[in-house]
Structure 1
């Protein structure tokens, strides 16, 4: 099916303008999470579904959300999954081509690290899941070969999420590697740049967080 866009309830200042996102994801299915539902409705986007305990909205905002005609699933504040994990699990059941998540960065660091861990769910189901905000784009990758496009004023960082990443090779970058073993807890692959039209990244074992970052 088409892509799914999830709007989580993180700080609004970290989310790109919704009008821009509507143009970028014209054929996507939208899902709202907690205060992200309010963000979408404020900007003229009616989500296909909404999830959350809605503890981050006022009573007036909560009622306004409930008055809208779309499936709304309200969960208790005390539960074993975050609102975003609930929404992501439901989105993965649809087997979309891609899932894009906004509103999942900024604010509390425990939420950020938990949201990065959720990227493993996409790998398990073979569905690309991307976290995006105004300055960052994050994807988790397993072993393979990946081609990245050069972008002006964009840095590329690669963070090992497993204990090590084996046989890591990088070509077309300012700083290249040849079958290097990247150990978790090091910063070797932070703030690289593509100096050719494309950059190639290959590794044979482990999990690597691909990050594209730029100045706001």
Structure 2
């Protein structure tokens, strides 16, 4: 049985904050965790964790998608159905309050497209706060960087295979100084905008690579 966060004394930024939502789960979902990690069940994500014998550190939401809420024995935060923020947003906030810098989101895609889009927007919120988040989808992971550099060694758990797609798009109105090195198609200090599709379906060629932006926010989606 996993210990509660308070029992681990983890309110610092060494570990990973895992958010398990009510969306679709894929084979790459991580169900083992390290000391120092925080596990948050977001509404119906609690059902997934229960099915794998995992006790979260925190359960929160408006509980419109959970199968049962009786006697969980888990610290619980209940929110109204009518509110300004999504349950996943509130969960990310709790993780940031607890000092986490890295977020991994499962069950945040599939199902309703508006929920998927809002979770991509959530990546921007987390990134704006100086953190890094990874949204796991169907054989893809989506992340964002702001005025920063990204390489594959930043990503928990996975390494790409040669030939896998990596797409780079501008989330902000414009992104300046976009440099991509080590992928099949490289760029040097270019400008991208959020109305451009340049950057879709780049390719990993089996060597170290870097993606950087001087000013702006990039969406990076890479194939597993």
Normalising to structure 2: TM-score of the pair?
A: 0.84
The answer for the alignment partner of 2:3 in structure 1 is: none
Higher helix fraction (1 or 2)? 1
Is 1:3 the equivalent of 2:24?
no
Match of 1:193 among 199, 203, 210: 203
Q: What does 1:60-71 correspond to in 2, within 5 Å? A: 61-62=67-68, 65-71=69-75
CA distance in 2: counterparts of 1:205 and 1:190, whole angstroms: 20
CA distance in 2: counterparts of 1:137 and 1:162, whole angstroms: 19
Q: Structure 2: give runs of 5+ residues left out of the alignment.
A: 1-11, 154-158
Q: How far off is 1:97 after superposition?
A: 3.6
Count of aligned positions: 204
CA contact (8 A) 2:141 2:221 kept: yes
The answer for the alignment partner of 1:102 in structure 2 is: 106
Match of 1:167 among 157, 162, 177: 177
CA distance in 2: counterparts of 1:171 and 1:86, whole angstroms: 36
Is 1:54 the equivalent of 2:67?
no
Match of 1:82 among 86, 91, 103: 86
CA contact (8 A) 2:176 2:213 kept: yes
Q: Structure 1: give runs of 5+ residues left out of the alignment.
A: none
Q: Which digits, 9 at most, give the CA deviation of each residue in 1:108-166, with x for residues without a partner?
A: 11111111111123223322111113411111101133333672142111111011111
The answer for the alignment partner of 2:34 in structure 1 is: 26
CA distance in 2: counterparts of 1:147 and 1:191, whole angstroms: 17
CA distance in 1: counterparts of 2:175 and 2:132, whole angstroms: 20
CA distance in 1: counterparts of 2:122 and 2:28, whole angstroms: 24
Match of 1:182 among 184, 192, 196: 192
The answer for the alignment partner of 1:91 in structure 2 is: 95
Match of 1:151 among 160, 175, 179: 160
CA distance in 2: counterparts of 1:110 and 1:199, whole angstroms: 32
Normalising to structure 1: TM-score of the pair?
A: 0.87
Please give the secondary structure, in 2, of the residue aligned with 1:22.
Answer: coil
CA contact (8 A) 1:169 1:202 kept: yes
Q: How far off is 1:83 after superposition?
A: 1.0
The answer for the alignment partner of 2:140 in structure 1 is: 136
Q: How far off is 1:95 after superposition?
A: 1.2
Please give the secondary structure, in 1, of the residue aligned with 2:50.
Answer: helix
Query: What stretches of structure 1 move > 6 A for 4+ residues in a row?
Result: none
CA distance in 2: counterparts of 1:169 and 1:83, whole angstroms: 35
CA contact (8 A) 1:66 1:72 kept: no
CA distance in 1: counterparts of 2:72 and 2:56, whole angstroms: 10
